[in-house]
Amino acid sequence: MLQAPQRSALSGPALVRLLARLAEADVAESRQSLADRLSQWLGWTDAIALSSALDGKPPAVAGGARAFGRAEEEECTRVRRSLVSAIASDSVLAGSRRRGSSSLSARMSAPRVAVDTQTDYAVFRQRYLALQQSMETAIGTLRGRLRALLASQAPALARLAVVDAVMERALGERERTLLGAVPGLLGGHFERLKEGEARRVAEAEATDASNAAAPLASDAWLDAFRKDMQSVLLAELDVRFQPVEGLLAALRAC
């Protein structure tokens, strides 16, 4: 008996593993080292700026610097919780569980339909892009604030702040391009779920065509998609927050 080939386990960030599963793609592990990939992503001007930041004289540190404390920790926690809340409570991502019993009654008495033809991915795409913009803006502001504090602590930390600024500038466009492809991958997942529901209803109707109470289209596939989209957004938030976590770790150690 032939067995279907199993996909190899993929390591890396949860966002990559989740997207590979939702896209039903067998993604191979990259054989390139991080240094090799960075060399492809950095332009020559970025490479010069990074080299200067790493090898040049550490920036001067002004006296009387404010020490890192609870206020910065709390601000980072507040920003992250705010973004998580925005994803969890988004009205477009609210499932059918939030609709009342009158809606259920209406669905039960409605005529048979294969799939709601008004259900379109465009509205989900717009919400994903809007939430991405919220993450980029809030995290960028927080990252700049932490960098400014880091630069005031000690010469070595000031150098790290400069390196982080160079990396943010050099890789920002690359990051926007890669993360900008996520809504397209989710769009494919949306269409596969929608087509699967259409097949389910068609098969049920063909099996019992004489039954007047033939099954209606279900919202279950759409609720599943909403949950998947929220999971992807939260995984993307984890990736976007990594530079902030790095700056926080440096501040805690000083």
C-beta of residue 97 within 8 angstroms of C-beta of residue 134: no
Confidence class of residue 254 from pLDDT cuts 50, 70 and 90?
A: confident
For 150: left if phi > 0, alpha if psi spans -120 to 50, otherwise beta; the answer is: alpha
147-167 pLDDT, tens digit each: 989 988 888 888 899 999 999
Reported as a pLDDT band with limits 50, 70 and 90, residue 5 is: very low
Mean residue pLDDT of the chain comes to 80
pLDDT tens readout for residues 135-145: 999 999 999 99
Of 60-64, 174-178, 186-190, the one with minimum mean pLDDT is 60-64
User: Helical H runs in the chain?
Assistant: 14-22, 34-41, 44-55, 70-88, 101-109, 122-151, 155-180, 182-207, 220-253
pLDDT reported for residue 189: 95
Band of the pLDDT at 27, cuts 50, 70, 90? low
pLDDT in tens, 200-217: 888 877 776 655 555 566
pLDDT above 90 (res 244): yes
pLDDT exceeds cutoff 90 at 238: yes
pLDDT of residue 22: 92
Residue 69: pLDDT band by 50, 70, 90 thresholds? confident
> Residue 49: its pLDDT value, please?
84
